[in-house]
Amino acid sequence: MDTGVVIVAAGSGKRMGAERNKLWLPLGGEPIWVHTVRLFAGHPEIGEVVLVVNSRDRQEIQDWLDQNQEKQKVTVVLGGAERQDSVRNGLAALSPQCTYVLVHDAARPFVTGEQISELIRQVRTDGTSIMAVPVKDTIKVVGADGIVQSTPARESLWAVQTPQAFLVSLLKEAHEAAVQAGYAGTDDAMLVEWLGHPVRVMRGSYENIKITTPDDLWTGEEILRRRKG
Ligand code: CTP
Ligand code: MG
């Protein structure tokens, strides 16, 4: 299969304020990262999963995989200091069969199989596709002095999520150029934009939240409960 996913799970979850990586916190009784890995490993259009972890979690994650069928599709690699470093390590571990790659935060367990399929359809056409939603709030640029500098028109503002999908060759080129130039982006699309390549946006869903702070856990439990019906 020509499509793989790099799932980044190597952070520490500082904003959650938990004792260890937030991805171990339970959602519906299972660690957050397990929900995410299961969804992608079970998706018929995803041929391989590269799971990027930190050295503290590695053994425990490997032990879980050894007892679960997801193992067959999953390769575990170590991440780096910043998310961008973790993605780069993950890309290096993709097999040569992969023409397309999705990059996804393990901390976003609520993307759906249908959305993944739609994203794959779009990347096959355009070479890029990122999930995003129109912002609901008015966004302001605020200076360090606490004074509003400007208010961009809301119609053109989108809050960007993952997964983000790219031609593997394009994303590798972008990461390579960024590391050479010392350019840091907060998502993968930024690096591709910086190369001057157009990036296609796919309308995602407001449910595709990133579990970041403790209140997100409550929202997450609610989403799970509703989906279970
Ligand atoms: N991530 C990673 N490697 C890093 C930093 C982050 O793989 N060096 C991953 C996280 O594990 C997470 C995703 O990138 O799945 C999105 O990052 P974020 O939500 O910011 O998670 P953390 O960086 O762990 O949290 P915080 O910023 O609050 O410390
Ligand atoms: Mg972070």
Domain count across the chain = 1
Q: How many residues does the chain have?
A: 229
Tokens coding 91 = 């890309």
Ligand number nearest CA of 187 is 1
Residues 6+ apart with CB under 8 A from 91: 6, 50, 101, 168, 171, 172, 175
Angle between helix 83-92 and helix 168-181 axes, rounded to 10 deg: 130
pLDDT given at position 65: 96
Say if the ipTM goes beyond 0.95.
yes
Q: Which of 149, 143, 162, 142 is nearest to 208 (CA)?
A: 162
For ligand 2, the distance from its centroid to the CA atom of residue 224, given in whole angstroms, is 24
Please tell me the number of Cα atoms within 13 Å of 118 on its side-chain side: 15
How far is 126 from 167, CA to CA, in rounded Å? 9
* CATH code for the domain of 145: 3.90.550.10
Ligand 1 pocket: which residues have CB below 6 Å? 8-15, 23, 52, 79-83, 86, 105-107, 210, 212
The whole-model pTM stands at 0.97
How far is 157 from 30, CA to CA, in rounded Å? 34
List per-block mean pLDDT (blocks of 10 residues) for the chain, which spans 229 residues.
97 95 97 98 98 98 94 96 98 98 98 98 98 98 98 97 98 98 97 97 98 98 94
pLDDT given at position 214: 97
**Ligand 1 atom at minimum distance from 12 CA:** 24
Residue 124 gets the label, from left (phi > 0), alpha (psi -120 to 50) or beta, of: alpha
The SS3 call for residue 148 is strand
Instruction: State which residues form the domain around 93.
Output: 3-228
